[in-house]
Structures are given as C-alpha cells and as structure tokens.
C-alpha cells in the first residue's frame, strides 16, 4: 500500500464532490450516453438479425461469434477497470481514459454496422472484438465518472436519471434510423450503415463536449491497495455481492427478451411490419419511467422501488406467450408497461452501485470506482451474452429458424416461452436477493461522513 497525494486537477475540481453539480454540467456529462446507447441495442438486437436474415449467416455461427466477444470482455473488463483507477494524468483519470477510447469505439462501430457484401463470421467477430475493447474503455471511466460526480444518496439518482434519459434517447435513434431507412438489403446505405455513420460522427463530438465541460470529480483515496488486498475488499463487500448477483439475474431477464424481441414479433405474433414501431414505443415509454424511478427512489428507497418495478414487470410479461397471432394492441400494452419499468432498471441499479462503492472506499481507503464498474460492465455483458450464446443454440435445437419463412410450431412455442417466462424466473430471484438490501439512505449518509471526515482529518 502507498499514500496518494492530491492531484492538481482534482484540487481544481474539488467542488464537484462537495456541492450539487449544476444542471448544464450534468447534461454535458450525460451527452455521450446518446451515441454509446446507439451501440448497445444494435449489437444485441439489430446486428444478429441483420447478419442472419440479410447477410445469410447461420444463427449458431452468429451466436458463437458474439459469445466469443463477450468472453473477450471477461478479460478486458477487469484490466480496464484496474487501469481506470490507477491511471492518474493531470487532466483527470476519468476524462483522459474516456477521451482516448473514443476513436477506436467510433471506427469499430462503423465497420461492424456497414460490412461489405459476402461478409464472413470472421468480420463480425473481429470488429466485434475491437468494438468491445473500445466500448469498455469508454463505458467504465464514463460510469465511474458519473458515480463520483455526486456523493449523496439522491444526488446519484439525479445524475443517473439524466444519463439514462439520454441513453434512452440514443436507443430511440438507434431504433428509428435503421427501421426508417430499412436494413433488408446488404448493399448501399442501409439503416444499420446510417447508424454507423451517426456514431462515427456523434461519439467524438458529444464525448468531447463532456470531457471539456464536466469537471473531474474529487478523489477520496488515501492509499493505493494492492491487487490481493483489493480483491479481498471486493468479495467481502456484501452489499456489492448481493447487488451484482441481483443485477446479473435481472440483466439476464432483460437480455433474453431484448435479443428475441424482433423474432417474437415477426415470427410468433406474425407482425413483421410492427417490429420497428413497437420497439420504438417500448423505449419511448422507458423515458417516461425515468422520472418515475427517481421519484420512487426518494419515496421508497432505491432498492425497494426497484423490487416493486420488477414485480410489476413479471405480472406484465406473464400473458405474452399466450397471445394469439396478430395481437397488436395486447402486445403494445405489454410493451408500454414493461417499457416504463425499464426506466427503473436503467436508473436505480447504477445509483445503488455508486453507494456500494462507498462501502469499499471506507474499508480499503482507496476510491476504486473503476474496478467496481468493470465488474458491473462484465455482469451486464455476460447477462446479455446469455441471451445470444445460450438461447440461440437452444432455439435452433427446437427447430426455430429465422431465415425460413415459416417456423415449426415447436420452435415457435420455445421462442414464446424463452421470450417471456424464462425472464420471470430470473426477475423473481433478483427480487429475493434485493428485498432486504442493507444499504439505505441513512447507512449511505453515515458512510460518506466517515469517508469525507477521514479525508478532512488528513
């Protein structure tokens, strides 16, 4: 262990950790969430569909390629998280690493979203790996940055709320643009290619605004903890272990229907022309859920508000496999309810994550948000990978083939059950873990008093 001196940049921006951040700065910080979100949804929903249905790659090969990408994430997530905490340039450890990551992320997205004709699985895997590296190097410091810009219980919900509202805005763009242009053809400027161009331009632009307009947060580290001691603090952080287990299960519950959404609407409900509008409507409702989530967090506490939202989502998903073909209105109602509740899933877990980092900071003496958000990022990607690497091969085994014009009844039944009922089981397990979560507003306030009081006494 070693002592850590205050950095000049940290001292300049120290006020960021001591008083609420002004709204224009909060918005400036949140702006890169728009192009970053435009990467998340296509990679798990549009890219598999485009590479299988339009480019003609097999479902199993696409699932395998994306699973390899997520295994690669298992390696680079902790490495980048470690670097994000140890990398201390004068310009700021969060802002600098984030800025460095932007060119690789933008170029990789462009190449993955606009592949040449006759593309192979190797192209998908290669550029998927590059995008994974760039995206992780952007997301981890970006998330840690946001967690450190506020130190109070409700202030973190405010920052997470703005970030996730713009995340949903980017998601809506990622839906509207490809479907408006169309991505049924492999040549020319198809919808996925247009999205790649938008990311290529928008990510460096909005990322640059965030870097120059948002302060580097105050660092509360007193010492540097070596790897062995740091890992020990992480696994002994019981609130974090509970939170990440619940988050993984809920991420799996969200990742499976997200991956299967287009197939369910097109093949099970027989509404291929409604895929884009329904998906847009779903995420539009999620934007309405963001302010509702921040209100519920203040009213009930973050963890209880999240549990209530997951319970309602289970009830809303339950009838989905029983819907007859052509049930547009009924499924739109399900999309509206679960869309609003998605706002809770996006805002509340990251706000709670910022609180559990305080447990580690108080115990270890080092503020290691990068390591924690690396574990968070890995849990996110592994849960989403389950929707691709596990569900796709299982559906193929049951005879579901999206490249065929008509699926076997057994395959369509398996699709419906995987889409709606499998996620319910995962959400119920997540609720059981989080219901009596120990870190509420009073406990978090006490932790911050210990952390900031210790620093003041130095």
End-to-end CA distance of the chain: 17
Whole-number Å distance between alpha carbons of 340 and 286: 4
pLDDT, residue 183, reads 66
State how many domains the chain has: 1
What is the full per-residue pLDDT of the chain (458 aa) written as tens digits? 444 444 434 334 433 445 678 889 999 999 999 999 888 777 777 888 888 888 888 888 888 898 888 788 778 888 888 777 777 667 777 888 899 999 999 999 999 999 988 888 999 999 999 999 999 899 888 988 888 888 777 788 888 889 989 998 998 888 888 878 876 666 667 888 899 999 999 999 999 999 999 887 776 555 566 566 667 777 788 888 999 999 999 998 988 888 888 888 988 888 988 988 898 899 899 999 999 999 999 899 999 999 999 999 999 999 999 999 999 999 999 999 999 999 999 999 988 988 888 888 787 777 777 788 788 777 877 787 766 677 777 777 777 766 665 556 777 888 888 888 888 999 999 999 999 998 888 887 887 777 776 544 44
228 within domain boundaries: yes
Residue matched to tokens 């859920």? 289
Range of the domain at 392: 17-456
410 within domain boundaries: yes
CATH number at residue 337: 1.20.1250.20
**Partners of 224 in beta bridges:** 2
- Residues across the chain: 458
Using CB atoms within 10 Å of the CB of residue 148, give its burial: 0 to 12 exposed, 13 to 18 middle, 19+ buried: buried
HSE at residue 328, side-chain half, CA atoms within 13 A, is 11
Q: What element of type H or E holds 19?
A: none
Question: 262-286 b/e with 16+ CB inside 10 Å = b?
Answer: bbbbbbbbebeebbbbbbbbbbbbb
5 within domain boundaries: no
pLDDT, residue 404, reads 62
Question: What's the DSSP call for residue 223?
Answer: E
6 within domain boundaries: no
64 within domain boundaries: yes
Tokens representing 162 are 């703005």
pLDDT, residue 15, reads 38
pLDDT, residue 267, reads 82
Q: pTM higher than 0.85 for the full model?
A: no
Whole-number Å distance between alpha carbons of 388 and 62: 9
Output phi, psi for 277, to 5 deg.
-60, -40
CA proximity to 101, closest of 66, 70, 65, 132: 132
SS (H, E, C) 313-347: HHHHHCCHHHCCCCCHHHHHHHHHHHHHHHHHHHH
Question: Could you give the C-alpha distances from 208 to 9, 103, 160, 205, in angstroms and in order?
Answer: 18, 11, 20, 5
7 within domain boundaries: no
Give the number of other Cβ atoms within 10 Å of residue 185's Cβ: 12
CA proximity to 308, closest of 431, 409, 455, 418: 431
12 within domain boundaries: no
pLDDT, residue 456, reads 46
3 within domain boundaries: no
């Amino acid at each position: 262990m070693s002592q850590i001196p205050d950095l000049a940049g940290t001292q300049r921006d120290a006020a960021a950790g001591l008083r609420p951040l002004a709204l224009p700065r909060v918005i400036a910080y949140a702006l890169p969430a728009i192009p970053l979100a435009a990467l998340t949804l296509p990679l798990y929903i549009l890219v598999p569909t485009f590479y299988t249905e339009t480019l003609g790659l097999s479902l199993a090969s696409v699932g395998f390629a994306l699973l390899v990408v997520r295994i690669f994430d298992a390696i680079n997530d902790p490495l980048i998280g470690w670097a994000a905490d140890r990398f201390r340039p004068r310009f700021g450890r969060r802002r600098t690493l984030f800025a460095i990551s932007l060119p690789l992320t933008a170029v990789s997205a462009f190449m993955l979203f606009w592949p040449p004709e006759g593309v192979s699985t190797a192209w998908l895997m290669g550029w998927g790996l590059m995008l994974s590296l760039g995206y992780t190097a952007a997301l981890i410091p970006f998330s840690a940055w946001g967690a450190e810009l506020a130190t109070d219980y409700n202030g973190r919900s405010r920052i997470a709320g703005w970030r996730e509202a713009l995340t949903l805005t980017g998601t809506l763009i990622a839906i509207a643009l490809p479907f408006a242009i169309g991505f049924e053809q492999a040549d020319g400027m198809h919808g996925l290619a247009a999205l790649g161009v938008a990311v290529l331009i928008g990510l460096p632009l909005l990322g640059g605004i965030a870097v120059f307009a948002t302060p580097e947060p105050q660092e509360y580290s007193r010492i540097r903890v070596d790897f062995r001691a740091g890992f020990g603090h992480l696994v002994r952080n019981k609130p974090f272990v509970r939170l990440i287990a619940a988050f993984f299960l809920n991420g799996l519950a969200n990742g499976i229907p997200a991956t299967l959404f287009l197939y369910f609407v097109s093949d099970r409900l027989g509404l291929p022309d409604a895929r884009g509008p329904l998906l847009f409507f779903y995420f539009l409702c999620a934007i309405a859920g963001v302010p509702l989530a921040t209100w519920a967090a203040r009213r009930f506490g973050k963890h209880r508000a999240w549990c209530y939202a997951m319970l309602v989502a289970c009830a809303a998903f339950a009838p989905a496999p029983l819907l007859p073909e052509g049930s547009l209105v009924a499924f739109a109602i399900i999309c509206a309810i679960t869309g609003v509740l998605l706002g809770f899933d996006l805002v509340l877990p990251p706000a709670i994550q910022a609180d559990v980092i305080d447990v580690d900071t108080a115990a270890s003496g080092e503020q290691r948000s990068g390591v924690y958000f690396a574990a968070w990022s890995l849990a996110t990607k592994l849960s989403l990978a389950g929707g691709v690497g596990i569900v796709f091969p299982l559906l193929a085994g049951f005879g579901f083939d999206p490249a065929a014009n008509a699926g076997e009844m057994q395959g369509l039944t398996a699709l419906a059950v995987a889409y709606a009922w499998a996620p319910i089981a995962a959400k119920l397990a997540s609720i059981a873990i989080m219901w009596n979560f120990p870190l509420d507003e009073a406990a978090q306030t006490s932790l911050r008093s210990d952390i900031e009081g210790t620093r003041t006494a130095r």
